[in-house]
Chain A
Amino acid sequence: MMIRYQGGSLEAFQEIYAQLAPGVRRYLSHLAAGSEIADDLLQETFLQMHRSRAAYNPKYAVRPWVFGLARNVFLMNRRAARQRAKVYESREDLPDAPVLPEAERLGSQDEIRRGIAYLHPDQAEPLLLHHEWGFSFEEIAGMMGISAAAARARASRGMADLRVALNSFQRARA
């Protein structure tokens, strides 16, 4: 599909967008902790994908390539707007973050979202990329510029911290 797109097919671009946009949007929503920014970043990601389509090599998998691009778009946006403090301090406005299937039995959807929002971003990102979007740790390592072992360790620590957070929510509720 990507090869057809590089060859100049608009239909191929539409197919790629339809397949990847929902997942990329949720990923950006998690990173940006705000759905309005996520929509803008989603458009920017696909615009950058279009402008960088020559940089794609058919030997790569398309999904990690596009998610990697989305991450870069988010980081550039954050640097430009210096929104880090705003993004991670405004935890009252919980993002439209995904709910991990593994964590569903541990708490309500709202509690899981809250738990993920309280995780350190370095842990939450690999945790979601692996458990929610199904990326391998090697692919996550390529997106984040870390080793596969570090990606695995961060995701694992994130899951452990999420469990602790969910337990504390349950105790508070009881």
Chain B
Amino acid sequence: MDSAKLPEALMRVVAADLKPVRPSPQPLHVALRMVPFALLASSAILLAIGPRHDSAILGPLLTWGASSAQFVLAIALVWIGAHESTPGGRLPRQMVYLAAIAASLVVVCLTLLTFATSPLNEPLLRVPPRINELLRVSPWIMGFACGIGSTLAGGILVLFFSWTFRSSLATRPTVGGSLYGAGAGLAINAAWRIACPVSTPWHALGAHGAAIIATVILGALIGRYFGKRRLHRP
């Protein structure tokens, strides 16, 4: 077969769909474009729940400083995800593993450090006193509320983000999508951790950690869906 000769069937498929497309941004621009959306979602969480009332004990470094660092790491994960999905633009896989390990370690270390500095376990939220009492006597409800709340916030962010940049997921869309999901989950967690009034590791890792894992899975599923859709498009 003369490989330089364009097959008729391929030519027909291409000719049938030649609508102009807008080039995808570079990985760094993809990551930077996530910043305002993630900031907006994080600010909305902080405004809705309000900062935890032991912020003075924790100090600015363990609240705003740590959350800012986590936010930067979240954006870095999106940047790595965008690279993974660029044909010929992949980063060394050690870097991907390192970023995933670093993200997990940051969440665990910040949880333990926060608990060691202020072992707060009194849910005091801007809700009627009856609900505050209910949350206090039943930590499971608080756990579910945090888990579902941050999963929803992260889910909306990753959904919006994956949809906006769906054309960037050209290769390895599942890996790219899961990294987008990890970035969204981590960005939401950066705000949630300074709003949630419970410091106990089981709550922070169980409820907040589960939400990050849920957004990673959601991102992977969205990426997989876009990948399959492109693969099997008529």
Binding site for B on A (CB under 8 A): 3, 6-10, 13-14, 17-18, 21-22, 24-25, 39, 42-43, 46-48, 50-61, 64-69, 71-72, 76, 139, 141-147, 150
Binding site for A on B (CB under 8 A): 1, 3-4, 6-7, 9-11, 13-15, 17-26, 84-94, 96, 167-172, 230-231, 233
B23 interface neighbour in A25, A58, A64, A147, Cβ under 8 Å: A58
B10 interface neighbour in A47, A68, A141, Cβ under 8 Å: A47
Query: Chain A residues with Cβ under 8 A from B94's Cβ?
Result: 147
Look across to chain B and name the residue whose beta carbon is closest to the beta carbon of A61: B88
Contact of B88 with A67 in the complex, beta carbons under 8 Å: yes
Contact of A143 with B90 in the complex, beta carbons under 8 Å: yes
B interface majority secondary structure: loop
Contact of B88 with A142 in the complex, beta carbons under 8 Å: yes
Alpha-carbon gap, A8 to B18, bound state (A):
5
Contact of A57 with B26 in the complex, beta carbons under 8 Å: yes
CB distance from A49 to the nearest CB of B (A): 9
Query: Chain A residues with Cβ under 8 A from B233's Cβ?
Result: 51
CB distance from A113 to the nearest CB of B (A): 18
Query: Chain A residues with Cβ under 8 A from B85's Cβ?
Result: 55
A6 interface neighbour in B17, B23, B90, B96, Cβ under 8 Å: B23
Contact of A69 with B93 in the complex, beta carbons under 8 Å: no
Query: Chain B residues with Cβ under 8 A from A59's Cβ?
Result: 26
Alpha-carbon gap, A22 to B4, bound state (A):
6
Known: A22-B3, A65-B88. A48 touches B26 (CB 8 A): no
Contact of B167 with A54 in the complex, beta carbons under 8 Å: yes
Contact of A8 with B19 in the complex, beta carbons under 8 Å: yes
Alpha-carbon gap, A146 to B91, bound state (A):
7
Alpha-carbon gap, A61 to B86, bound state (A):
12
Contact of B23 with A54 in the complex, beta carbons under 8 Å: yes
Query: Chain B residues with Cβ under 8 A from A147's Cβ?
Result: 92, 94
Contact of B87 with A14 in the complex, beta carbons under 8 Å: no
Query: Chain B residues with Cβ under 8 A from A150's Cβ?
Result: 92
